Each structure stands twice: as structure tokens, then as C-alpha cells.
Structure 1
Amino acid sequence: MKEITIMLASLMTFLKNSRSKFGCPCNEGADIPRSQNLHSLIYFHSNDCIVIADERGVILSVNPAFERLSGYDSSELVNVLPNKIDTYIKDGEFYKALKNAIALKQSWEGEITYTDKEGKELYYKLLTIQRIIEEDGSSKYIAVLSDMSKMEEANQKIWYETNFDALTDLPNRHMFLHHLEQQLSKIERNNFRRTALMYIDLDDFKEINDMYGHQIGDTLLKKVTTRIISCIRNTDLCFRIGGDEFTVILPDIENLYMVETIAQNILKELSSPFELENSKNVFISASIGIAIAPDDAADSETILKYADQAMYQSKKSGKNTSNFFAQSMQDALIKRFQLIKDMHIACAEEQFVLYYQPIFEIKTGQIHKAEALIRWKHPDGYLINPADFISIAEETGMILEIGEWIVHEAIKTVSQWRRMYNERFQISVNISPVQFHQKNGSMPEWIKVLTSDAFAKDSVVVEITESVMLEDSAIVWERLKLLEDAKIEISLDDFGTGYSSLSYLKNHPYQYLKIDQSFVKQLEINLSDQILCKMIIDIAHQLNMLVIAEGVETQYHRDILQEMKCDYLQGYAISKPLPADEFVKRFFNSEE
């Protein structure tokens, strides 16, 4: 505005200095002399449009900028009223209001839309119309207009980029939150019917990008958008709020069955093959979470959080399904967050302890092996079972720290027991798949410890599950080879519960195979389990592996497994897991 004021002052000086050329009225269209003074330069070279008119509003002169932008030549404009060339100013009410404002304040300021010679609508800002009173009492008017078309285009582009997703043309997260707030306020203010919020996440979309590339992935997202929109009502709104995440706001829902029907239609559409470039058929699925306002929550942050939780429940349920939010989900999440917080404290305050469960050798009737099992000794005095926290430790990555502690503690214990009680004693330690697949640019600490020369290598057995082998990568092979070269024995744990591929047994260096307790517990009443256990034992022996049966709880279990030529027994029939001091008292300092 300061620049316009300076310009007007210069133009007023210019107009007064050029009074001889602007006699009243001007009906000859005399040109303004291009004098070399500053005021003349401003008039002729300004990028803003300048119009000078007499007291009747008849145009006396326009500068070159106005000619360029309007499409008119100055000869077509001089001696013409503005409303003859501008449809906007033909609006009588506007023109009247404009004249009244100038008569009252000697100036006018505002915005107008201007139409050029070809009829194209241009955006201008009529910054100022200034009235100048001559010495003889007559008036002249100077109008300075700034072309806003490019600015308007830039503003439109910024608005679009702020509120819409460039790939799918769907409104984005910013627009989603705005519309969600609006919809929830309508419910509260006008007692509208309920609104449903769907949170849709594509399952394993990263694999599509990794396999086919991001260009194919982008094409797929566009097609996904089309299919989702085809399943919802005209009143529903779809948004893309993340890479492979979409939301749908469904206002004014009659019943939950209608919402579930829409969700199932979306799942069905998305599970059909997508034909992409080069006739590639790509298959995907989605997980959907649904929350209802105001039943579940009435504010946007909470309702979105609940829909997200319901979506993750769908992921846990096997994907390609939908779930409505339930309060139990929130309760479970609160419990999980508290557990994670407590685990960090437990690591810092050394609240974890190792218990040891003996492994009985049938052939000798002796115990010279044990499995190290972690327990969490809570400050309140109770023990937390690993089944309640190990999976969360794996998901959060805390298992790396906990696992290293287990290895160090087990090595310390077995070294002491060998020195004091039994020089042949072995302790088995469980290595999580997360530890085994750890990728941080260097060798994991647990590998360094186990392959060092700080202890007897035959004193520790590494237990791994079949899930370690599912990622048959160079890292897995490298770490197995390191353990084999260091003479560390390896036990395949929980055999029979996973994929149980015989290729695992053939191709990898296991010394022990552990039969999962789910087969052992039913030996008394289930003939199939008896057959399977006998078959596993025979196969293992043929491959020069020893067999350990877990979950041995009765004398019958001991007897029948001994008949099947099983090598080792582990379970409550032998002993429950014990703290280190109790284990020593029972198995090293007694006559048993």
C-alpha cells in the first residue's frame, strides 16, 4: 500500500505538470508527452495499469500496461466511459456505490474482476481511485489497478497443494481433519444422526513398491482410489491421509449394518486383481477400522485414534477384514503402553532374572543340561511370565537389549556351574528372530559374545525357532555359519508348530530338535500325536540329531517317550523352572 501511495503522489504531480494536455474535457485523445522526469517514467513503465479520467468519468489516457492487459489500444479507450468496456462496471449498483464513495472520501479502494477485450475474465485489484481537484474546481481521477491473475493462480495452486493429494486428487489429511471437525460439530449442534469414520490401510503395500517399483505403486493407488469411491455413497467423503492410508467419512448413517456393508464392498473390490502396465495382475487387500461418532467419541482426535486402533485389530486378525472399535481395544492399548514403559524401567533397574529348567537325559538318568528362561520380577513382588512381554519386546526392538543381557547372564552362570559342580554342564539360550535378523551395519553383540574365546563353546546351546529360517537370507546363513565354526551347538525349538519344512533339517547344522509341548500333552489320548512324535524322533535320529521333548508332565509321558527312543525330557514331570540358587540346591547339592 505504501508503494501505491508513492505512485499516486508521483502521478498527481505528473498530471498537474501536464495540465496543458488535459484540458477539460479531452475529446481529441491527446497523447501524454514522454518527458524524462521521474513521474513520466512511472506512468509509462509501471507494471500496474493506470487510467486517468475526467470528472464525468470519461477516460483521458491509459498507460501501456493497461493496453497490454486489457487488449485494447489507447485509441479505443480515450473519450470512452469505463462502463462501455467493462461488464463488471456496467453493474449499476456497483457504479453508484463507487461514485458515492469517491464523492464522500475523494478516493475508493477495493477489488474487482475485469473482463478484457476478448471477454476473458481477469483478476485485478483496483487498489485506488484518487480524485484530484484542479485550481479551476474541476476534477480528474487516477485509477491504479494491479493485475492479480497470476497471484490468483498461485493462490489457487497453493490452496490445492495444501488441501489435496496430487497423485489421486483426493482431499488430503489437512482437508480430512477440517471436514471431520465440521461433521462432528454438526452432530453436536444439530443433533444429527451418527457419523461413521473408516480408516483403510492397504496390506503389505510396501512389497508392491519393492517388487514393481514406485511408478506401478502410484498407478495402483489411483486405481484403489477409484474402487473405494465406487463403493461409497454420494454423501460420503474419501480422503488419502498417508502413503497407503485412506479414510472415509460417512455422515448420517441409519444403522451399523449399512456401514459394515460398505466396508465389505470395499474389501471385495480391493481384493479383485488390478491389471496394471504390461498386463500385470497385482493382488492386494486392505484392513479397515471403523469408529462411530458420537457413540465411541465426539472429538476428532479421539475418533480418529479409535478408528486407527480398530484397523490394527483387523491387521492382527489376519488382514483383509474390518473391525468396529471396541473399548477393550483401548484398554489393551493402555495396558500395552504401560507395559512398554515398565519394561524400560525394568532394563534400567535390572528387574529381569533367569530361571533354569532342567533337561533330563533318558540314557544316563542324569541332568547336565538346562534351559535359561527369563522372568520379570516386578517391584510389586510378583513374576511376569515371558508370554506377557516377549512379543511386545520384539515389536519394539527392546528384545535386542534384553536378549544380550540373557546371553551374558547365561554364560556367567554356566561358567560358574561348570567350575564348581559339573564340567560338562550346558545351558540353552533362546535367540529371538529379531535378534537373528538384526541389521545395523555390524555384527550383533550376542554373536560377538558367543563366538569369542571368553568361555567354553560347548557350554552353551543356541535355541532358534523355524521363523528364523523363513527369511532365508545371506545374513541368516552367515550367522549360522559363524556359530557352527565356533562349535556352538544349535537346537531347533518348537518343531511341528510352524512350517516344519524338512528342508530346514536337511540344509542347516542342528544338533538338537525339540518337539513342541502341544504334541506331548495329548500323548495319552491322541494316537495321531503319538504317531507324529515317533516320526519326528525317527527322522531326527536318521539325520544324526538328538531329540528333546518339551511339556513332559506325567509318568506316562516319560514312559512312552522313552519307548520311542527320545533322548531328553523337559517339563514339570522333571521340574518346573527354578531360580539359580534353588537349581543348585536341588540338582548339585543333593543326592537326588
Structure 2
Amino acid sequence: MLRFLARAGHHLKTTATTAFFGPQILAFVPALTLGGYWFGGEGLLLFMAIFVPAVMGLVGLFTPVRTPPARASKNVDAVTGLPLKPALLATLDGAFCAEPKHGVRTGALVLEIDEFEAFRATYGAEAAEHVLAQLAERICSTLRQGDVACRLEHSVFAVALAPVRRLDLEAMIQVAARLQQAVGTPIVIGGMRLFLSASVGFCLPRRASERTGQVCVEAAEAALRDAQASGTGAIRAYAAQSPRKRVKRAGLAEEVADALEVGHVRPWFQPQISTDTGAISGMEALARWEHPERGVILPGAFLPAISASGLSKRLGEVILFQSLTALRDWEAAGEHVPNVAVNFSHEELADPSLTDRVRWELDRFDMAPDRLVVEILETVISRSENDTITRNVTRLHDLGCGIDLDDFGTGHASIANIRRFSVGRIKIDRSFVTRIDTDREQQSVLTAILEMAERLEIETLAEGVETVGEHALLAQLGCGYVQGFSIARPMPFAETVDWMRLHRQRMADRPRIAREAG
């Protein structure tokens, strides 16, 4: 009883103090000064005007009210606000415990935003965090009550499904597709509409080695690695015997160095065609590691090890030699490919001997310089202050090689830089091409790019063309060349001749896609 009375007295004292000395007393200041003037004239008014604020200042009334800082929660991610991994594991473990009694099932999915590190490098850490927060909201919007989503690391998210009576492979694929659709909705950054994609791996618990949350998530992560080895936007289910195509970083540098020397790293070729005639205008050489045990490994898995080991120059030499060899062999097979485009890394472009090396290779194959197109990333020329790079690109242009600006729209290259590097063609990044046949804002942006290129008298090639509708609209808008899965996926040299003959036959049997009348 005494403790209660003491608490009540303390509360009354606090309330009274707040009432008479809190900020709300400021509401009575006009009345006090007016009363002073009424009863004491101008003298008392002047006294009140000075005395009252002085007293309020002494009691700290004008001191900003300091609210105690909210404690940063240790249970949520600081960027996305999602629960941390323990909440995810608890949901899975709880479902496993309930399964024998209630006959319910759960599952885990892990998704990673494709090429997000390149996005972060282009747009900055602040924009990247803003996008991650948006994606977290979208992911949660696709889930049911009881499902738990968390951010594992970087751009990797995981989802634990609330227990349900029926959960099979088809249902998991549908959930994965909904997550991909949520990620794929356009995101606006700096006035630009950008499209992201996600690769997804998932695990049904009956396929995991143990029925625990930790093992289930690890299996879903393994499935994600298999999905990423197949390319962007893939979905894979975990299977204990599935091949692991993603190479572990440990010991990779030595292995890839050997692969370069024995010929396991070689170019695959993706056709580029004219939107006006449908004829093949060239081929782009894309590095692939044909591993004898792990199958075909995409560049994202081994290029970091190449760069870290100082092998970028050697990789460039291998790809250039084999690309020129392919040009020669296509001619021998009776197929004319006007040129082959080869990507040159920043390290290669900074090599003072690059131009001499390219000239020597062209002479060795008795190849005209215009049969080689040098591809340069937009990020290289937009940020480069290296005079050697500028001189090399200028000399290659003067030699007669074509200069393509790759991934245009992602590196903020100025028109001055486009002129300085003698760019003959811009390759419009696939983020500006995706859904152009259904998205009017995409059409407006692409139209502006094409008009700029026309005024600069620069040719255009659209990358990542995946549908017939995109191809047709690009042709109508005046884009000169296209490249993408709707035409052909990258293929080894052994498959190219058959593809070219089949393409020529198809072109003879179908009407030409005509551009809009000017």
C-alpha cells in the first residue's frame, strides 16, 4: 500500500511539474503580458516581456525536449526491416515439429537479385539500399500470413513458408515465380525505369538430408547456385544428386589458369542481325569455361578469379585468337560473317602494347581490321581518366576496327566521351529493352536514345531481345541491329554453321520486318 501511494505521489508531482513548467505554459505568455500591461502599464509590460522569458530559460523550458533514442532492434535487418535468419529457422523448425502430429508441410526458398553488385557499382550504395528496401516490401506482399521472409546477406533473401496441408513441387515453383514477378516490376531510379531479375532456389524438406531449418535453407542455397549457373532468372529445386555447376572460389585461380592453357576456356558466339534485312551482321564472342566435370561455367563464376590472378590479359589473348580463328573457319565453310565483336577489359585497354598485339593478330590471319569490333563497357569510358586507354581506343579505330559501346545507359557516358572514344555503335542495355512492346515509358526512353544516336550518326544495337514483339517494335523504332535469346542463345563454334544455314532458310520463308515509314 505504501509503495502504491509513493508511486501515485511521484506521478502527481511529475504531472504538476509538466503542467506548470512544460512547453504548454507558452500558451499563457500572451495573457500574462497583456495582464501586466492592463494592471501596471507599459513599465510592467516591459518587465514581463524580459522577466518571463528569462525565468523560462532558467528552468530549461526552451531546451529542446530530448526523447530517448529508439533502441535499434537486434531482431530485424537495418536496411529492409525484415526479420533476421533466426526467425526464419524457427518457423521451419516449428513446422517440422508439427508435421507428424498435424500432417502439415513447409519449404524454404532463397533468391538473389541478378547482377546486383554491378547495379550497386553503377548507381551507388544509397540507391542500392533503397532498392533492397523496396524489394523487401514487394517480397512480403506476395507471401501469405505466417510466411516469413528475411535478408540473408547482400542481395540474398530467404522465405520460409508457413505450414500447409499440401506442398509439392508445382506449388513451390508457383511461389518462386510470384517472387520473381515481384522483383521484376520496374523500379524508378533517378527518373529511369530499371528492370531487375532474380534467380531462385528452393528445397522441399523431404529432399534435404535432415529435417531442420538450417539444413533446409542450406539446400535451398545450393539450388540457388545451380540456378545461377544456368543464367539469370532461373529457378531450380534442390536434389541431392544435382550437379553443382558453380565453382567454389577456393583453388579456382590455379584451375582456371590451367583451363586457359589447355583450351577449356573458349568463346561461344551469339548472333547479331539487321532489323532491316534479317541478315547476320556479326557475332559476339562470349567467354565460357567448358569444364570437363562441372559442365559449362558462365563468366560470372570465374571472371573474378581471372582478374584477381592477373590473367585478364591472357584471357583476352585467348578469346581474340579463337574469335579470329572462327572468322577464318566460317569462310572456309562457305558462311560469311561480317565481323566478330570481342569484349576488351579495363586491364587490356590500359596495356600500352594492345594496339600492336591486335595488329599482329590481324596480320597473322590476313584479316581486314574492320572484321574485328572492339567492345568497351560504358562504365570504362565514363569513369576513365587513363590516357593510355584513350590512345589505345583511338589507335584501334584508326587501324580500322569498329568500336562498340557496351551496356549503354548504365554508366552515364557523356556525349563528349562518346566522341572522344570514336564510338561507332552503341549497344543499348537490356534494361531499356525489356518489355518495350508493352511498356509505354520504356518506349519513350528508347525512342529518345535512338533519336540521340541518329543525330550523332551512331549505329544502334539492342541487347537482350527476348520476344518477337520486342524485336518487331525495335525495328519499327529504327534500331539498326538486335541481339538476344529471341534470335539465338550463345552457342559453341561447332553449332554456329548449322544455325546460320537454318536462319538463312527461315529468312527466305518469312516476310521481312519493315520499319515504320519516316
TM-score by length of 1: 0.42
Structure having the larger proportion of residues in strand: 1
* Greater RCO (Cα-Cα under 8 Å, separation 6 or more): 2
Q: Greater Rg, structure 1 or structure 2?
A: 1
TM-score by length of 2: 0.48
